[in-house]
Amino acid sequence: MSRLFRTDPDPGATPGHGPDQAVILQAAALLLAYPEQELLDRLDLIEAALAGTRAAALFAPVLDHLRRSPELEPAGTPHLQALQSFHVQEFDLSRRHALHLSYWTDGDTRRRGEVLAEIKGVYRDSGLVVALGRELPDHLPVMLEFAVADPDRGLPLLQRFRPSLELLRIGLAEDHLPHAGVLAAICDSLPGTSPKTRLEVQAMVDIVAPLELVGIGSPTLVELVETERR
């Protein structure tokens, strides 16, 4: 299920930034991706890996959702099909839960294309081949797997998009989606304290992201989210 493999080992790379963090980020990458039967077959293995981490309780709702979710299944609808329909509705069609992190900072602007190219440049410089398939390079499961494979480059990349992660976390929690705990676990694994409100997230932008990331004249993070709520 991994999208990554290394073609040119980096002798200067340091070991991972803690076993718990790697397990949490890898589990999050798998559980936030479009669900396939292979994922359902590995839920027990994922749960066992998380059992010894500080984030195990945060993942419990999404594991339960993927195993059962009877409320999603009209009579006669196969379980996997119901999960896939739910994922498309909540993550692909709803901008409020967008898994593409540069959407939150740049929206549908020309600047976003430049940011996507910068992310691809980070992947290229790592010596890893990132098999994007039909996904954009800012897709959260891709970025999480990259952070596990190359923490020295991938963790700063996640931190750069910390405001996006926090807005996604807030939106999922407000809408009572089972994936909210996964985003909370991701944010908890990164440096700093999570903000409580969208206004606090906006205040993070100049701290954790380059000034040019938002761009002069583009909507603020809060404006982008509030537009989607109306």
| 37 has a pLDDT exceeding 90 | yes
Beta bridge partners of residue 5, listed in sequence order:
129
CA distance 201 to 82: 33
| Phi and psi, residue 113, nearest 5° | -60, -40
**pLDDT at position 4:** 47
CA distance 105 to 158: 13
Cα–Cα–Cα angle for 22, 24, 29, nearest 5°? 95
pTM for the structure as a whole: 0.82
What distances in angstroms separate CA 81 from CA 85, 119, 133, one per listed residue? 6, 32, 21
Beta bridge partners of residue 92, listed in sequence order:
none
Q: Which of the two residues, 5 and 184, has the higher pLDDT score?
A: 184
Cα–Cα–Cα angle for 138, 143, 146, nearest 5°? 140
Tell me the mean pLDDT in the region 155-161: 95
Greatest Cα-to-Cα distance within the chain, rounded to the nearest angstrom: 55
pLDDT tens by residue, 110-142: 889 999 999 999 999 999 888 888 899 999 999
Residue 225 tokens read as 């989210």
Tell me the mean pLDDT in the region 11-23: 62
Close Cβ partners of 186 (under 8 Å, ≥ 6 residues apart): 24, 25, 28, 144, 158, 165, 169
pLDDT band with cut points at 50, 70 and 90 for residue 69 = low
| 27 has a pLDDT exceeding 90 | yes
CA distance 92 to 79: 19
Which amino acid is it at 193? T
**pLDDT at position 216:** 31
**pLDDT at position 5:** 40
Contact between residue 66 and residue 39 where contact means Cβ atoms under 8 Å apart: yes
Q: Which of the two residues, 128 and 143, has the higher pLDDT score?
A: 143
